C-alpha cells in the first residue's frame, strides 16, 4: 500500500483487523497524524487498550509494526543496532527502530519512559521535522520515508521526578489520552473479545467499576480492561465465576491478603457466594 494513503471502509472490512472498539475520535486523529507524518504519544493506565489500538491502526493503515516493550535496561543501541561477532568477523545488526525506518513501518515504544535516558537522543531527530536517524557507528544518516511513524506510550500514573518525559520530548508529539472505556463500550469489548453473553458482560463491567472506585484507597493500579478480558475468557471456558474473578481480577491487583479478602467481598456482592 502506498504510504500516506488511508484504506476505504470497504477495503478495511475485507481485512482481519485486530479487534478494537472505538471510544472517541482516536482513530481519525491517528490517521491524520500518519498522513501528515507526525509522531504520536499515547498516555493511559495499564491495560486500557493502548497496545491493541496501535496494532489495530497499523493493520488499518497497512503498515508493518515493530513493538518494543521498554524497560530499565533498554539503551539507544538496543533500538538502533550494534555490531555483533560471528564466524570470525563482526557484522552490523539493525535494531527495531532502524528496521522500522528502513522499511517505512510503524515503530511503537511501549512505556517509553522506562527506557534509559540516552534513548531520547535518537528519538528527537526522528520526532521533529528532520525525520532522520543518525547511526554514529556506521556513519549512516537514514531519512524516514513517508510510511514511517513513531508512536510512544506511557502510564502517567507511574510518573515521578526520576521517570518522567521531558517537556522537550513531549512537545515533539501529538498527544492522545486513553482511559478505561465507558461501561457500554467496555461491555461490547468483552463480548467482542470473548463471546460471553450480555448479562455476564454487564456484571463484570459493574464489578470492575466497583473495584476501580477503591483504587485511591487500597490499590496502586485499577482493575484493567485486560484483566476483565482474562476473567471473561476463563468463565467462557467453563471456569467457576467466583474463582475466575479471584484468579484473573483480584489476585493480580494486590499481594496483601487482607486486601484480597476485601476485594472478594466486592465480587460476592456482584455474583453472590
Write out pLDDT tens, residues 182-207: 999 999 999 999 999 999 999 999 99
In 3D, which of 140, 142, 226 has the Cα closest to residue 180? Answer: 226
Please tell me whether the overall predicted TM-score, pTM, comes out greater than 0.85 for this model: yes
Bridge partners, residue 94, by sequence: 81
The whole-number pLDDT of residue 252 equals: 94
Does residue 1 carry a pLDDT above 80?
Answer: no
| Terminal Cα distance for the chain, rounded | 54
pLDDT digits (tens, 9 = 90+) for 26-75: 999 999 999 999 999 999 998 999 999 999 999 999 999 999 999 999 99
Alpha-carbon distance 160 to 168, whole Å? 17
Alpha-carbon distance 46 to 51, whole Å? 10
Spatial CB neighbours of 106, under 8 Å, sequence gap ≥ 6: 54, 57, 58, 61, 63, 64, 65, 66, 100, 148, 149, 150, 151
Does residue 215 carry a pLDDT above 70?
Answer: no
SS3 88: coil
Q: Lowest-pLDDT range, 34-48, 78-92, 213-227, 256-270?
A: 213-227
- Percentage of the chain beyond pLDDT 90 is 74
Per-residue cell: 175:
498527544
**Residue 17 φ then ψ, to 5°:** -75, 145
Band (158; pLDDT cuts 50, 70, 90): low
Q: Is-contact 96 80, C-beta < 8 A?
A: no
Q: Is-contact 231 201, C-beta < 8 A?
A: no
Q: Where are the domains of the chain?
A: 9-177, 183-271
In 3D, which of 43, 40, 42 has the Cα closest to residue 156? Answer: 43
Give the DSSP letter string of 46-70.
TTSSHHHHHHHHHHHHT--EEEEE-
Does residue 12 carry a pLDDT above 50?
Answer: no
Q: Lowest-pLDDT range, 25-34, 174-183, 213-222, 240-249?
A: 213-222
The whole-number pLDDT of residue 273 equals: 75
SS3 8: coil
Band (6; pLDDT cuts 50, 70, 90): very low
SS3 145: coil
CATH for 9-177, options being 2.20.25.90, 3.40.50.720, 3.40.50.300, 3.30.70.2740:
3.40.50.300
The whole-number pLDDT of residue 44 equals: 92
The residue that leads in pLDDT, 95 or 166, is 95
Amino acid at each position: 500500500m502506498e504510504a500516506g494513503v488511508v484504506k476505504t471502509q470497504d477495503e478495511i472490512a475485507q481485512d482481519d483487523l485486530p479487534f478494537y472498539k472505538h471510544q472517541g475520535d482516536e482513530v481519525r486523529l491517528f490517521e491524520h497524524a500518519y498522513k501528515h507524518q507526525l509522531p504520536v504519544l499515547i498516555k493511559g493506565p495499564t491495560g486500557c487498550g493502548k497496545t491493541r489500538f496501535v496494532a489495530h491502526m497499523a493493520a488499518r493503515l497497512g503498515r508493518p509494526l515493530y513493538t518494543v516493550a521498554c524497560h530499565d535496561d533498554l539503551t539507544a543501541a538496543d533500538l538502533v543496532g550494534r555490531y555483533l561477532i560471528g564466524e570470525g568477523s563482526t557484522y552490523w545488526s539493525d535494531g527495531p527502530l532502524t528496521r522500522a525506518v528502513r522499511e517505512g513501518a510503524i515503530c511503537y515504544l511501549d512505556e517509553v519512559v522506562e527506557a534509559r535516558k540516552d534513548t531520547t537522543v535518537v528519538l528527537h531527530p526522528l520526532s521533529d521535522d528532520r525525520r532522520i536517524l543518525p547511526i554514529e557507528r556506521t556513519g549512516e544518516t537514514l531519512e524516514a520515508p513517508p510510511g514511517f511513524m513513531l508512536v510512544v506510550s506511557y502510564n502517567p500514573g507511574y510518573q515521578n521526578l526520576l521517570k518522567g518525559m521531558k517537556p522537550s520530548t513531549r512537545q515533539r508529539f501529538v498527544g492522545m489520552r486513553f482511559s478505561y472505556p465507558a461501561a457500554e463500550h467496555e461491555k461490547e469489548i468483552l463480548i467482542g473479545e470473548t463471546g460471553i453473553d450480555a448479562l455476564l458482560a454487564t456484571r463484570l463491567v459493574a464489578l470492575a467499576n466497583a473495584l476501580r472506585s477503591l483504587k485511591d484507597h487500597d490499590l496502586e493500579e485499577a482493575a484493567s480492561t485486560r484483566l476483565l478480558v482474562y476473567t471473561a475468557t476463563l468463565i467462557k471456558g467453563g471456569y467457576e465465576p467466583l474463582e475466575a474473578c479471584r484468579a484473573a481480577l483480584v489476585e493480580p491487583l494486590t499481594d496483601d491478603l487482607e486486601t484480597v479478602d476485601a476485594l472478594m467481598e466486592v465480587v460476592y456482592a456482584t455474583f453472590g457466594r
